[in-house]
Amino acid sequence: MVETVSQNQSPVGAIVDITEAAANKAKDVLKDSANQGIRIAVVGGGCAGLQYDLQPAEAAADGDLVLEFFGVSFFINPMVVPYIKGTVIDYSNSLMDGGFKFINPNATSSCGCGTSFGI
């Protein structure tokens, strides 16, 4: 069973908050493919022990949470929630530090790349 939650304006305590800039970039990534959303995951690795992973996905997997932001579906396995709860995902076009940005209140450490963290 897939649980869908609409969160264009995330309430306090939400799983994640996706900014409009991040959702617009996700739309760009998805527009020329058959993928229906973006999977938000956490994988082992990186300088600080864990890494964020965003990948286009054809559909939600069984058991996934599906969050809708600005017309884009984001798929999250419930096992990842403790690592990312309260995280804000933003996107920047900056030449020096552009890309997706993760502001995670649970991270006790992170590295300069911004995609690796520890809890």
What's the pLDDT at 55?
A: 96
What's the pLDDT at 105?
86
If one counts the domains in the chain, the total is: 1
pLDDT at 111: 61
Model confidence at 2: pLDDT above 60: no
Mean pLDDT of 41-52: 79
pLDDT, position 12: 44
CATH label of the domain that carries residue 32: 2.60.300.12
- pTM for the complete prediction? 0.80
pLDDT in tens, 61-71: 999 999 999 99
Report the candidate in 18, 13, 15 with the shortest Cα–Cα distance to residue 73: 18
Task: Tell me the residue range of the domain where 36 lies.
Answer: 3-118
Q: What is the pLDDT of residue 107?
A: 75
Would you place residue 27 in the very low, low, confident or very high pLDDT band (cuts 50, 70, 90)? very high
- Supply the pLDDT for residue 9: 45
Tell me how crowded residue 90 is: count the other CB atoms within 10 A of its CB. Answer: 16
Query: How high is the mean pLDDT of the chain?
Result: 83
Distance of CA 26 to the CA centre of its chain: 10
